[in-house]
Structure 1
């Protein structure tokens, strides 16, 4: 959006000078920003993916999404509030090693709501030590059984390595899985190339004695491409979500800050258009994707947000001891705070249009880890 800067009369003509609002500054009364200032540049597909995929294909070690769901080895329970609870016997509930962050579902993957006959969630977890990496959990909603899978990046024609990012938000779109990379943009992974590896190795990649390992995980999903942040100002890719209610489909990316910085950084949402035929961002001839909408939100502690039917569902955290809040917001109106609406430690948010609309989230704190869901209609708006 452009606002009048000043006007000067020259003879009988009126010349109006306008200036675009700074996309890196949200300390203005007007909160809209010019979407095209927010740029992601599509990088070339990973050159090592094809030769690596051939190795696994020749060995008969390429599996389908449904195969992973059907090979579950752990199970969630359900509490009295209907939330799905990570188990304590395997200790996904209390582990300090892994932290859940992002959530997406088969309702994101395909408009029909199922994928290869499966109805399920994917949840991202990040690990800081001993090996900074990301795993994805495939949860079968028909029986609450699940299995963890590791994300990897091909780094040679016959090898792969870990993906050392925070994975604060994820989006399943067709045969691709999208994961935010905080300061660098978005990474995309190939759901048609899920590889089965040896499970007895602690390392990640090609083993000296032959074969491949992934820190004892049975399956890996390789990175296929990267959308690199190329605007001259910083933007924190903290979380993301798919919006299937726009034409074309679109992607929302948002920023987190806890409000403790001496100079508060901007907090913004941006929207990019998607091409469902290629499962890529819409780009120009230079492979640059420019946002079609941007807005200063200025809500501290945002952990996730999803838009559907021109409404935003925004999760915010209140520390480790208090329940989280959910803001209901429609652009141009005030945001309504549904206080204590979420369990403590809410993170990413996803939307499922089936059954009148559902909102999903996942919580992160040990001892309070759930997959949470609610009817979209239960969220209040101003």
Structure 2
């Protein structure tokens, strides 16, 4: 079922005051500091944003005979380690601001077939989980690598005990009928496509969790939606090349042991490209999904972040206005919009936006930054941030801001991938 809504939206903003910074910010000149105090940015109203949702629950329900599992039912077969997470390539968080983190196992640190992108988390059955998206790499990213046909996998990570980190990779799948829709499926290198379901061939640059639902951003489309209670165990595949339902009824997924089927998707016009997503709050403290755009100056567009209100079921509330903002970089770094956004978190009631950005000049071993911007201020504040930084996730139960880095060991001759947390209060 597909329902389309068209609304006229206006942005509600509150001005924020600049507070004192922790000692890891990137210095600005006196002139830049003056402009930060006096210049104000006018945020434009967002006039229209068509949104449609396609419900694919009938497809997911057709899989019920195979049995649905929940996160605490999954056998976590890999181990991460806290040791060395803060010594990977380009990790430059000051020691006073370091809280915790981990590295993947050696195979996942070094693999060139997958790169991690999105990060979120939730509590389940008395256990604390993180969830990271990884996309299949193709030759356009790394020469000679042809893994893009596998689409997206998620790493379900149990961090209840940071001295005993375990995780499992799970493949995302969608209705095979979506293969005929170029907005939902991208043809890649060949593999053995069977019946019933197919890969989710997107970049998966960000992921957010709300009320049992996982929202994965699709660069051009909007958001793919999954229900974490609909995990399914599948059979092994020694060829590692088959996906879907075999003639004998068994399910295959490139030799992964579990799949998570797509329950629906949001097609959102006029707001792409979607590079990241997180659960944050709007101006009145209401729950919102915030997405960010990865744009460069050559795109001749101003990067924006968008806040989509959620209802009590964790679904986008079509009747609520969508908040739009244009975070500003610091005066010496860019003196304008924040380009190359990789992660976003917004605390609307405090008028605070945090974004991770890459592709800057090298600073303390990294080209990434964390930029904090208060709505209405003419410039933000830059903080040093680890190289290869991606999606942000805020854990309200601990006050930790989580992030992850993406690059394989071969890129720099040493490990780069880690997942780490800092205290949000150190950057607000």
Flag whether TM exceeds 0.5 (same fold). yes
Q: Deviations over 1:63-87 (max 9, x none)?
A: 111112xx11111111354431112
Residues 1:79 and 2:93 are matched in the alignment: no
User: Is this contact kept in 2: 1:39–1:291, CA < 8 A?
Assistant: no
Q: Per the alignment, in what secondary structure is the counterpart of residue 119 of structure 1? A: strand
Residue 56 of structure 1, aligned match among 59, 66, 71: 66
Residue 325 of structure 2, aligned match among 284, 287, 295: 295
Residue 267 of structure 1, aligned match among 303, 311, 317: 303
Counterpart in 1 of 2:234?
197
Gap change, CA 1:280 and 1:352, over 3 Å in 2 = same
Q: Deviations over 1:218-264 (max 9, x none)?
A: 1111100111123xx462111111015754311111101233x2x42
Gap change, CA 1:150 and 1:125, over 3 Å in 2 = same
Q: Per the alignment, in what secondary structure is the counterpart of residue 188 of structure 1? A: strand
Residue 94 of structure 1, aligned match among 98, 105, 110: 110
Residue 135 of structure 1, aligned match among 132, 148, 153: 153
1:1-382 matches, cutoff 5 A:
31-35=42-46, 37-53=48-64, 55-57=65-67, 62-68=68-74, 71-79=75-83, 81=86, 82-88=100-106, 91-106=107-122, 114-128=123-137, 129-130=146-147, 131-141=149-159, 142=161, 143-155=164-176, 159-201=196-238, 202=240, 203-230=242-269, 233=270, 235-244=272-281, 247-259=285-297, 261=298, 263-276=299-312, 278-284=313-319, 291-297=321-327, 298-308=337-347, 309-318=350-359, 322-340=366-384, 342-355=385-398, 357-366=399-408, 367-379=415-427
Cα distance in 2 for partners of 1:169, 1:368 equals 19
Gap regions ≥5 residues in structure 1: 3-28, 107-113, 285-289
User: Is this contact kept in 2: 1:152–1:223, CA < 8 A?
Assistant: yes
Shift of 1:42: 1.4
Cα distance in 2 for partners of 1:360, 1:335 equals 24
TM-score (norm 2): 0.71
- Structure holding more strand per residue: 1
Cα distance in 1 for partners of 2:425, 2:403 equals 15
Counterpart in 1 of 2:140?
none
- Structure holding more helix per residue: 2
Q: Per the alignment, in what secondary structure is the counterpart of residue 275 of structure 1? A: coil
Gap change, CA 1:45 and 1:34, over 3 Å in 2 = farther
User: Which has the larger displacement, 134-143 or 206-215?
Assistant: 206-215
User: Is this contact kept in 2: 1:169–1:238, CA < 8 A?
Assistant: yes
Higher relative contact order (CA 8 A, sep 6+): 2
Cα distance in 2 for partners of 1:323, 1:74 equals 30
Shift of 1:197: 0.3
CA RMSD of aligned residues (A): 2.4
TM-score (norm 1): 0.79
Shift of 1:182: 0.6
Shift of 1:332: 1.3
Shift of 1:116: 2.0
Cα distance in 2 for partners of 1:163, 1:338 equals 35
